[in-house]
Amino acid sequence: MIKALLLANILLATIWVLATGTITQENFVFGFLISFGILWIITPDRSKNDYFTIVPKLISFTVFVLYQIIKSNIQTFIESLYPKSKLSPAILKVPLDVESDGEITFFSHLLNITPGTLVIDISDDKKALFVHVVHCEDKEAYIRQIKEVFEKRVLELTR
């Protein structure tokens, strides 16, 4: 049912783009959101359909990632403007709650795309990530932030 609704959503969004005559990403996203609303209205028994919980989670996750990237870029920009600020790089061992290879990869990429963090390695037992951070005053607090902010979102999206 999820695949059928996703396909219908994409098809309706494509029809929207063709009907408006404006072929842009923004117009497609707008058409996708309108199509999602239409499907939400016409689908009986929405509570039993995962599609209507997955798409809002995915949109929320996308907004979250964009916010984190912008925030991290601003912090990195400020660090480069004022080089007298004290950088305290560290390598952290972050214990993992994500279990599958896909979840670990997804989580690792999420950390890598935010400036100031870089996943260096994964432990052999796949129970921890080794993460290089540019500015870390309190290792435990930073690990807690990574787990509560990033890993929690990955788990919400994948489970």
Condensed to tens digits (0 to 9), the pLDDT of residues 71-96 reads 888 888 887 888 776 778 999 999 99
Which residues neighbour 51 within 8 Å (Cβ) at sequence distance 6 or greater? 1, 2, 5, 6, 39
Measure the CA–CA gap between 36 and 109, rounded to whole angstroms: 28
Condensed to tens digits (0 to 9), the pLDDT of residues 2-57 reads 888 999 999 999 999 999 999 999 999 999 999 999 999 998 887 777 888 888 99
Domain boundaries of the chain, sorted by first residue: 2-49, 56-158
